[in-house]
Amino acid sequence: MRHAIKLTLFCLTLSSTLLAAEYRFIKIDFPNATETIASGINARGDIVGRYNDINGVVHGFLLRKGTFTIIDVPGASFTWARAINARGDIAGWMQDAGEVGHAFLLHDGHFIQIDYPGAVSTIGRGINNAGDVTGNYIDSSGTEIGFVFQDGKFRSVLVDPCSSDVWSAMDDGQVLVGDNCAGPDEALYGFLQDKEGKFRTISFPSGGSFPCTGPRWINERGEIAGLYAVANNSDECYGAEVIHGFLLRHNSYIAFDVPGAVSSWPHAINDDGLIVGVYTDKNGVTHGFKAVPKE
């Protein structure tokens, strides 16, 4: 078993090196920010995310054709622009003055607050080209439950009684990816829900004994981007200091790390294969990145 694990780790490391060489990496830093995270990219290459200013306040941003625009929900203490679709609609989440979380949609310059009925809090994660918003909400018992907000109606997604979170949906609004905890130790697994509503487990073969995988995006080609950690218990998973990225392409897992980074993972991949995400450098500074496939 030990030999098999070492062989798997070697193959993954080799795959990571080869894959990184296939991309040109571009650092994304909001001017004068202490931290920048790129979390969404659309077909036009517009990028959204969040940054921390020098006072520690979190703002959303849009990066279009090299120009940053600040996105702040009026009255919010925290704004994260999480995803953007081809029409330019932006979905994300914010916290009000009382630090209660709400999902939001920015459409044609207008903010629309999205709250699951009766929920303690609601978080927006993604938006597809049909305008469907995905995310999770916390119910009165404290359980995290995923949702799809489609045509003004909510659809709950609970893979396991422990918790579930829907990060993104394909344009049909039926194929979903996200993560859920499962079992008495609350291991973290990814999931793919297909058009028939059946669930498939996504678990990157990290070599650790504790499953720790979180898909973040699926594009229209069915390519999935996300994160994983090498963990042997829940503390090493949910509080991991080192996080890696992965791609799931043609039913094959591929490790994906920004060269030279201490931690890195992709948040989104568009239909042209452009990837955006976040990495931490050797000095502990967090940057966004865009990875462009080399021709």
Structure confidence by residue, pLDDT tens digits, 11-32: 334 444 447 668 999 999 999 9
The predicted structure's pLDDT at residue 184: 86
The residues that bridge with 52 in the sheet, in sequence order, are 35, 58
The predicted structure's pLDDT at residue 3: 30
Q: Which of 63, 75, 129 is nearest to 102 (CA)?
A: 75
Q: What is the C-alpha to C-alpha distance for residues 227 and 167, in angstroms, rounded to an integer?
A: 12
> Computed over its alpha carbons, how large is the radius of gyration of the chain?
18
Range of the domain at 285: 2-293
The predicted structure's pLDDT at residue 206: 93
CATH, residue 178: 2.120.10.30
* pLDDT band at residue 1 using 50, 70 and 90 as cut-offs: very low
Instruction: Say how far residue 181 (Cα) sits from the centre of its chain.
Output: 16
> 240, 228 in Cβ contact below 8 A?
no
* pLDDT band at residue 259 using 50, 70 and 90 as cut-offs: very high
The predicted structure's pLDDT at residue 148: 98
Residues 6+ positions from 264 with CB-CB distance below 8 Å: 243, 244, 245, 256, 257, 258, 277, 278, 279, 280, 289
Q: What are phi and psi of 156, to 5 degrees?
A: -80, 145
Structure confidence by residue, pLDDT tens digits, 92-143: 999 999 999 999 999 999 999 999 999 999 999 999 999 999 999 999 999 9
Give the total number of structural domains in the chain. 1
**Stretch 60-80: mean pLDDT:** 97
Residues 6+ positions from 288 with CB-CB distance below 8 Å: 27, 28, 29, 36, 37, 38, 47, 49, 276, 277, 278
> 174, 151 in Cβ contact below 8 A?
no
Give the percent of the chain with pLDDT over 70.
Answer: 93
List the helix and strand counts (H, then E) for the chain: 2, 24
Q: What is the C-alpha to C-alpha distance for residues 245 and 238, in angstroms, rounded to an integer?
A: 15
The predicted structure's pLDDT at residue 167: 98
Structure confidence by residue, pLDDT tens digits, 156-213: 999 999 999 999 999 999 999 999 999 888 999 999 999 999 999 999 999 999 999 9
The predicted structure's pLDDT at residue 185: 87
Is residue 295 over pLDDT 60?
Answer: yes
**The token pair that represents 74 in the structure block:** 């009026």
The predicted structure's pLDDT at residue 128: 98
> 186, 145 in Cβ contact below 8 A?
no
